[in-house]
Amino acid sequence: MAVVQIRNLTKVFKAGTPGAVNNINLETKEGEFLVLLGPSGSGKTTLLRMIAGLEAPTSGEILIGGNVVNNLTPRERGIAMVFQSYALYPHLSVRENIAFPLKAQKVPKEQHKQKVEWAAGLLGIEKLLDRKPRQLSGGERQRVALARAIVREPRVFLLDEPLSNLDAKLRTSAREELDEFHQRIKTTTIYVTHDQVEAMALGDRIVVLHQGEVRQIGTPQEVYDDPADTFVATFLGSPPMNLLETDDVIVGFRPERFLPAGLIAPWAPMDEVAKTLKHENLLPADLLGPGQRIPLRLFVEHSEYLGSERVLYGKLSETRFREKPVCARVSSSVLETYTPNTTYDFAVPEHELKFFDAKSGKRIPPRPFPWQ
Amino acid sequence: MAVDDRKVGVFMFLPAVAYIALLIGVPLLLAVLYAFSDARIGTMGFHFVGLENFRSILQSPSFRAALRNSVVFTISAQIIVIVASSILSIALEPAFHGRWFVRLLILLPWVAPISLGAIGWKWILDSIYSVITWVLVWAHIFKPYGAPMWLGEPTLAMASVVLVHSWRLIPFSTVIMLAGRTSIPKEIPEAAAIDGAGFWRTEFLINIPMMMPIISVAVLFGTIFTFTDMTVVYILTAGGPFDSTQVLPSLAFATGIQGSDLAAGAAISLFLVPVLILIAYFMLRAAHRAEVA
């Protein structure tokens, strides 16, 4: 196990063009599951490939276990990688695939059988050992790729979108398995994905990348609840954070915090609510008290019923942001129906508002906001 | 509708069938016919003589030499071609400045007419004007007039013929190998590098096995091109000296056309058919495997 440190890492593919990775600094913790999250073209895969030694950095340093590894070949870095396509050797059986790293690293032959069986057992693929990759399902291939990576007990695990080739249902179970797998082996893992759900579910910390730069590093909760800038705010969350812009400040709030004004909102102090109400889910808007919520009127244009929730798309009426499209997510346990082209009373808790500088997009401390 | 489709299909298919029947089927039938007859150029007489022609060519020392030479010629040329084109394909795969130009240069021997190329080589290897000899003498490796006669000594002549034919086939094989190599997903050799495999291990345990269906297509095509080719031999040595480079096609030509013994020539060339059918069978199987994989 080892810590990976990245210092001022830059990769420019073609001189004169913007770098794929620009001056990135980050450091994993021992045994951590670190997720690199970003849209395509954000440089996350390039960063991972540089750590693996498949791509040479233009400048900067990569340290694994405290040693600079820039000039080491992939095999000397003590890393293992799972590729998006799994890159199983199609002409070799599962057993031979898993044994390949042992063979290549000249592990004595007597140990191969035992190690292959250990790795296969860890992933529950003992029964597949004599099959060829083409006879396996997507999920099985992914497990073989993991087994091949784990078999020589690497110091660092690198995973490049290993779930993206699986169908939605399988992806959820594979995600759980991956999490459990990491809990068991506790190897430092760097995981690349563009899927925020995966990132939130798996990551101890998430590194949000955009255009080759780190926008934020933090726990899933930190990047979601305290986005460092408007990019992070809109990249995480679906639908993304509502942003209202004035000349010098942008205010944002999450759709799921933008609720019917009459609802018991999560921001209401619970003991006070309990005192007032017995069972109802609904609470008169004025019970919340002044200064705790911002009442806004939502003109609903259309709504989507998604089973667990309703997503309402519309515009804020009666404010200076009249033409600004916003959206709200209301739990489907709220039985009220929303008719299109009707205006409803909504509200957002004041402390849920995030403020950003209009020019840089960076987060700034809360300040008065001109709603009207 | 289905019937119409069928008719159209047959109609579309006919030109190809006619082409093959006229240009390949008829000569092949004639060859079979001649091989069992006493047909000669210049006479109209035609009698069936059974296996007489085969009996007589099997006893001929020229035929045995040609058969042996054909095997040596084909196998050694194939080994050289496969090794050289493997190396070239490895060298030409990664992107570098002027790659297209180098690829074009390497393809040239294949696009140039074979007779021109062979005539060029005849001059290069000529006993008096050979540029190779000139260089070797200039470098004091051989004394003037003491240099080897490239096409005049049996072993050297065979080596020359093999090398020139390989020169001719390498581009074709390289193109096939390059295609095979390019079809390997980039992540596979990368995964091998991360798993700790060096260059040789990656080549011999991963890349070459993965390219095997394509390599076998290259080998089988090359084998057929070599086994049935007489241009290089005919132009460089005409089978000499003393039949030391005579191969079956050149012997069939010399006997049947130049020697006017059509029947014996046909028998010699028919000798190739079983071998070629076998090769064609394996070729189709390999091609099919390549498709499936």
State how far the Cα of B195 lies from the Cα of A74, in Å rounded to an integer.
8
Record: contact B195-A100, CB cut-off 8 A: yes
| pLDDT tens profile B157-200 | 888 889 988 998 899 899 889 888 988 898 899 999 998 888 89
Indicate the pTM of the whole model.
0.77
Q: Is the pLDDT of residue B261 over 60?
A: yes
Buried b (16+ CB within 10 A) or exposed e, A258-283: bbbbbbbbebbeeeeeeeeeeeeeeb
How close A43 gets to chain B, by Cα (Å)?
18
Stretch B130-135: mean pLDDT: 81
Given CB atoms, is B16 within the 8 Å cutoff of chain A? no
Q: Provide the chain A residues 71-100 that lie in CB contact (below 8 A) with chain B.
A: 73-75, 79-81, 83-85, 87, 89-91, 100
Q: A314 to chain B, minimum CA–CA distance in Å? A: 46
- Chain B interface mutation, best of A45, A83, A106, A116, highest count of B Cβ atoms under 10 Å: A83
Picking from B188, B194, B210, the nearest residue to A52 by CB comes out as B194
Question: What would the two tokens of residue B246 be?
Answer: 């005579």
> Within an 8 Å CB–CB cutoff, is residue B193 touching chain A?
yes
pLDDT at A231: 93
- State whether B210 and A89 contact (CB < 8 Å): yes
Query: Quick one: what percent of chain B has pLDDT higher than 70?
Result: 97
Instruction: Give me the mean pLDDT over the B59-83 stretch.
Output: 89
| Tokens found for residue A25 | 């600094």
Are A74 and A54 spatial neighbours (Cβ–Cβ below 8 Å)?
yes
Q: Helices (DSSP H) in B36-153: which residue ranges?
A: 52-59, 61-92, 99-111, 114-124, 131-138
- The fraction of chain B above a pLDDT of 90, given in percent, is 11
For residue B58, the 8-state DSSP code is H
Q: Per-residue pLDDT for chain A (372 aa), expressed as one digit of tens each?
A: 689 999 999 999 888 888 888 999 999 999 999 999 999 889 999 999 999 999 999 999 999 998 999 999 888 898 999 998 899 998 899 999 999 999 888 888 888 889 899 888 888 888 999 999 989 988 889 889 989 998 888 899 999 998 888 888 888 888 888 888 888 888 999 999 999 999 999 999 999 999 999 999 999 999 998 999 999 999 998 888 998 888 888 889 888 888 887 764 444 444 454 444 443 334 444 444 445 677 888 889 988 988 888 899 998 886 777 778 889 888 887 777 888 888 888 888 877 888 998 888 899 888 877 776
DSSP classification of residue A265: -
Contacts for A106 with CB less than 8 Å, ≥ 6 apart: none
The per-residue pLDDT for B222 is 87
Q: Is the pLDDT of residue B258 over 80?
A: yes
Say yes or no to pLDDT of B93 above 90.
Answer: no
* Per-residue pLDDT, B67: 87
Mark yes or no for CB contact A83/B190 under 8 Å: yes
Phi and psi at A85, nearest 5°, equal -90, 5
Q: Which residues in chain B are contacts of A91 at CB distance < 8 A?
A: 209-210, 212
Asked if A223 has any chain B CB less than 8 Å from its own CB, the reply is no
As a whole number, the mean pLDDT across chain B is: 84
B188: contact with A, CB 8 A cutoff: yes
- List, as one string, the DSSP characters of A133-160: GGGS-HHHHHHHHHHHHHTT--SEEEEE
Element (H, E) at B270: helix B262-270
ipTM of the complex: 0.78
User: Is some CB atom of chain A closer than 8 A to the CB atom of B201?
Assistant: yes
Residue A58 C-alpha, separation from nearest chain B C-alpha, in angstroms: 19
Mean pLDDT of the region B66-86: 91
B77 and B168 Cβ atoms separated by less than 8 Å:
no
Size of interface A-B (CB pairs under 8 A): 61
